[in-house]
């Protein structure tokens, strides 16, 4: 079982200096991975519903703006994390493929993978915020099929062995181009995020794994059962997949909680429970209202939680 943690590159604590300190501290504490999330645009007006919770919700602009804060860009943050660490995996959870140019994206990720010595893990999804794509001039229609094709295109570029590579699909047509820079990992692993039947099916068909957005045990079990069934339908070995569960209260250490002494054992027990369900990687939660407290929580994981998991 691996334990990762999300880099605070968005939200109220986000700052360039703190991102660097946080990444170094997470690696020093013994975390297996650091994670970033994706939103390039926070529209002032939108009707799209956030569909990952059990009950979909619609954000007000002020609430989403407060949640995202400085919102340092995802791939750039991964590059910074690569530069200031030596060991941890560099993960996206999840990148919204429909808003990204696939060739530029492939080149950025290959470069980060090269700079880091082969540590990128690329989690992707179809997204939920249509207005973001509109603001960026990117198509939103048939985005599921577009994402399937983008995954194929990314892998084609990353796995190319000749002097040139080309691609001809329904949505993307790439004439013969140089495949350089080529990543260390050939190709970079791609995990699929999302809880819909379409996302679970995509993970079984195309993914190197699946990412859940912080599901509780009952909901997660049901989703994993659907993933197992989808793997059976397409002749895929479920055991090949990496299974990631996002941040949950039961895997969170809070610097200001009243049950401080009991928190590490609760986290260890929760991680063990998720492992018994087939999860291979859990994202830890950091409860802190300032940068110094967040770094203390990271150290707390390193001294009280991670040794128990090893």
Q: Which domains does the chain have, with CATH numbers?
A: 2-309 (3.20.20.30)
Predicted confidence at residue 145, as pLDDT, reads 96
Instruction: Give the integer Cα–Cα distance in Å for 290 and 13.
Output: 7
30: left (phi over 0), alpha (psi -120 to 50) or beta: left
Q: Whole-number mean pLDDT of the chain?
A: 94
- SS percent in the chain: helix, strand, coil, step 5: 45, 20, 35
Residue 74 is predicted with a pLDDT of 96
pLDDT above 90 (res 160): yes
pLDDT digits (tens, 9 = 90+) for 226-253: 999 999 999 999 999 999 999 999 999 9
Q: Does 177 have pLDDT greater than 90?
A: yes
CB contact set of 233 (below 8 Å; sequence gap of 6+): 204
Whose tokens are 């983008």? That residue is 150
Check pLDDT > 70 for residue 28.
yes
- What is the 8-class DSSP label of residue 69? B
Q: Is the peptide bond before 181 cis (omega within 30 degrees of 0)?
A: yes
Question: What does the pLDDT read at residue 54?
Answer: 67
- Residue 310 has a pLDDT of 84
Over range 116-139, report the average pLDDT.
94
137-161 burial code (b ≥16 CB/10 A, e <16)? ebebeebeebbbbbbebbbbbbebe
Look at residue 258 and tell me whether its pLDDT is greater than 90. Answer: no
Average pLDDT over residues 186-194: 97
State pLDDT tens for residues 59-108. Answer: 777 777 777 768 999 999 999 999 999 999 999 999 999 999 999 999 99
**Helix (H) or strand (E) run with residue 172 in it:** none
As a whole number of angstroms, the distance between CA 198 and CA 194 comes to 8
> What are the two backbone dihedrals, phi and then psi, of residue 302, each rounded to the nearest 5 degrees?
-65, -30
**Which pLDDT score, from 0 to 100, does residue 70 have?**
80
* Confidence category of residue 176, pLDDT binned at 50, 70, 90: very high
- Convert the pLDDT of each residue in 36-63 to its tens digit: 999 888 888 888 877 777 677 777 777 7
CB 124 within 8 A of CB 151: yes
Per the structure block, which two tokens stand in for 35?
């994670």
Give residue 203's pLDDT band: very low, low, confident or very high (50, 70, 90).
very high
Average pLDDT over residues 200-204: 98
**What integer pLDDT is reported at residue 40 of this predicted model?**
87
What confidence score (pLDDT) does residue 46 get? 82
The SS3 of residue 244 is strand
**pLDDT for 13 beyond 70:** yes
- Give the count of beta carbons closer than 10 Å to the beta carbon of residue 194: 26
């Amino acid at each position: 079982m691996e334990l990762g943690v999300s880099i605070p590159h968005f939200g109220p604590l986000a700052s360039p200096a703190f991102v660097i300190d946080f990444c170094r501290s997470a690696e020093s504490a013994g975390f297996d991975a650091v994670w970033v999330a994706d939103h390039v645009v926070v529209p002032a007006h939108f009707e799209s519903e956030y569909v990952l919770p059990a009950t979909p919700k619609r954000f007000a602009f002020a609430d989403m703006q407060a949640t995202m804060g400085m919102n340092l860009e995802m791939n750039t943050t991964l590059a910074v994390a690569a530069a200031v660490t030596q060991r941890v995996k560099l993960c996206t959870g999840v990148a919204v493929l429909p808003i990204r140019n696939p060739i530029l994206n492939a080149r950025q990720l290959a470069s980060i993978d090269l700079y880091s010595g082969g540590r990128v893990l690329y989690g992707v999804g179809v997204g939920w915020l249509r207005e973001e794509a509109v603001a960026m001039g990117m198509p939103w229609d048939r985005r599921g099929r577009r994402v399937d094709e983008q995954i194929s295109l990314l892998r084609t570029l990353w796995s190319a062995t000749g002097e040139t590579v080309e691609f001809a699909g329904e949505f993307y047509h790439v004439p013969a181009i140089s495949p350089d820079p080529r990543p260390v990992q050939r190709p970079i692993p791609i995990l699929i995020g999302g809880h819909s039947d379409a996302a679970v099916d995509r993970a079984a068909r195309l993914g190197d794994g699946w990412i859940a957005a912080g599901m509780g045990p009952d909901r997660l079990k049901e989703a994993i059962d659907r993933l197992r069934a989808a793997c059976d339908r397409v002749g895929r070995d479920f055991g090949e997949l990496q299974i990631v569960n996002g941040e949950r209260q039961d895997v969170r250490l809070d610097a200001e909680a009243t049950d401080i002494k009991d928190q590490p054992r609760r986290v260890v027990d929760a991680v063990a429970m998720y492992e018994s369900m087939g999860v291979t990687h859990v994202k830890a939660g950091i409860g802190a209202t300032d940068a110094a407290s967040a770094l203390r929580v990271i150290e707390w994981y390193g001294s009280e939680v991670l040794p128990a998991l090893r």
